Amino acid sequence: MSERKKFKVTYSTLASPDPLLHQYYDEAVADAKANFGKIYPLFINGEERFAAKTFAKHSPVNLDWVMGHFQYGSEQDVNDAVAAAKAAFPAWSGRPWQERVEIMRKAADLISDRLFEMGANMSLEIGKNRLEALGDVEETADLIRYNCDAVAKNNNFNFQLLSESEKHHNRSVLKPYGVWAVISPFNFPGALAGGPAGAALIAGNTVILKPATDTPLTAWFLTECFRDAGVPAGVFNFITGSGRVVGQTLIDHPDVAGITFTGSYDVGMHIIRTFAQGRYPRPVIAEMGGKNPTIVSKKADLDKAAMGVMRSAFGLQGQKCSACSRVYVHADVKETFMSKLLDLTRQINVGDPTIKENWMGPVANKGAFEDYQKFVADLRAAGEIVHGGETLQIEGLDGYYAAPTIVDHLPLDHYLWKHEMFLPIVTVTDFEELDDAMAMANDVEYGLTAGFFSEDDAEVQWWLDNIEAGVLYVNRASGATTGAWPGYQSFGGWKGSGSTGKAAGSFYYIQQYMHEQSQTIVD
């Protein structure tokens, strides 16, 4: 374990991993399996708490594997956590920002130290392959570091303003809001729980984290990292349980001052609307779904385009908010593009994602598995399935396996051109004029990520000028629409994909966890 702890990965080393990385990960998978079946608590006011009811977390890799038993948090548990967080707020927000940053840097380092343990468990918890899981863990640590740096670089956003005379001393400061709720999704259980929770804590808020019911274990590991780094009692609280009870109680609670939600459009819009019913406006950072398009020009390098689309459509089984789900390809090059995309897709191994050779694992849960079958039936009825379109039996495993699926000739008015499927399914159509492709690409409620392939600079500029999305990629073979890292790509959605217009992992993020105060003092 101590050698494992010293091993560090970065955005670039993950692309060409060291053999030791594989060895440490394999050992950690064995350890994770040896720990199946434990009972995990809630964490409220610095104490572990057990609820009246628990739920079993089954691995989608193999449903026979019960990874742990988690608590069904109640309304009372939420009320107690909010009270604890409210009581802890004055001391935490009153500390010098340097102390908060020091504690949070320590939390980031603990996450990095526990990389393999957390990554192996995450693979089993949600079906992520090893590099994706390790990337998610390390990204969590880097998001926290990024926001520590942002506060440190900007003197915690304490700036001098103009003054009317020598007697006037005018400043602008940013101050935290109070109790902050973080509601996270299943697909990036590290980064999208620890990233927002970390930002809220660094800014001086106190936090209640409610993770997705599918991914309580990664969130528990984060809780341990915050606790072990010295985050004081009540400053960070962890509650598992259903969205309808725990989530809804949080958003209804008058003492919750702000919220970060990452998840589906429907739940996100419901939270925005509910939160607006309070006595006064409160911030909601909502990061929601995507229906991300890629346009392939006739001037594209088709090898790059096919590789980029394959990786973005099927990575993490199509369950990234940034997954490529629609492809518009110029009619002149469509046949060649399709044959390249098919060749690459045929080479994908689907199976136990902890095995090195398997690039795709299972889909997240029963609902997703059933959705896949329903969507495939609808797509088969209206269009042509040119690859996949079937669930898969993997020997020795009872899990939710689905084949990567490519659909052609789907009528352009079909609902699945607009509905986020969140599964390994991509629909492809041709176009004659780039302007028509742009109109189709933009004709959805979402605007999260988008990809373009063309070797022509003028076309690239035209695309950048007209596409409606928050995260853009041009000619990116490693992912047409996916892949972001704090400091390298800012990540946030436009339109129905995000509520704030500001992205994570970039210049304007952590400020959203604070409100501005102008202070004028006259001698």
**Which residues contribute to the site for ligand NAP (CB under 6 A)?**
183-188, 192, 210-213, 242-244, 247-248, 251, 262-264, 267, 270-271, 287-290, 321, 420, 422, 448, 493, 497-498
Judged by CB, which is closer to ligand NAP: 196, or 404?
196
DSSP 3-state of 227: helix
Cβ 241 vs Cβ 71: under 8 Å: yes
Q: Which positions are annotated as active-site residues? A: 287, 321
Phi-psi region of 8 (alpha: psi -120 to 50; beta: other; left: phi over 0): beta
Judged by CB, which is closer to ligand NAP: 187, or 427?
187
Q: How many CA atoms, within 13 angstroms, populate the side-chain half-sphere of residue 53?
A: 7
Query: SS3 sequence, 309-377?
Result: HHHHHHHHHHCCCCCEEEEEEEHHHHHHHHHHHHHHHHCCCECCCCCCCCCECCCCCHHHHHHHHHHHH
Q: How far is the CB of 423 from ligand NAP (least distance, A)?
A: 11
* Cα–Cα dist 107/207, whole Å: 15
**Residue 482: what residue type?**
T
* Cα–Cα dist 19/191, whole Å: 25
Q: How far is the CB of 143 from ligand NAP (least distance, A)?
A: 12
Q: How far is the CB of 175 from ligand NAP (least distance, A)?
A: 26
**Distance spanning both ends of the chain, measured CA to CA:** 60
Cβ 510 vs Cβ 199: under 8 Å: yes
Q: How far is the CB of 5 from ligand NAP (least distance, A)?
A: 29
Judged by CB, which is closer to ligand NAP: 78, or 115?
78
* Cα–Cα dist 215/186, whole Å: 6
Render the burial of 402-412: b for 16+ CB within 10 Å, e for the rest: bbbbbbbebee
Any idea which residue has 């699926």 for tokens? 405
Judged by CB, which is closer to ligand NAP: 289, or 399?
289
Judged by CB, which is closer to ligand NAP: 232, or 243?
243
Judged by CB, which is closer to ligand NAP: 60, or 204?
60
Q: How far is the CB of 44 from ligand NAP (least distance, A)?
A: 18
Q: How far is the CB of 102 from ligand NAP (least distance, A)?
A: 28
DSSP 3-state of 409: coil
**Residue 427: what residue type?**
T
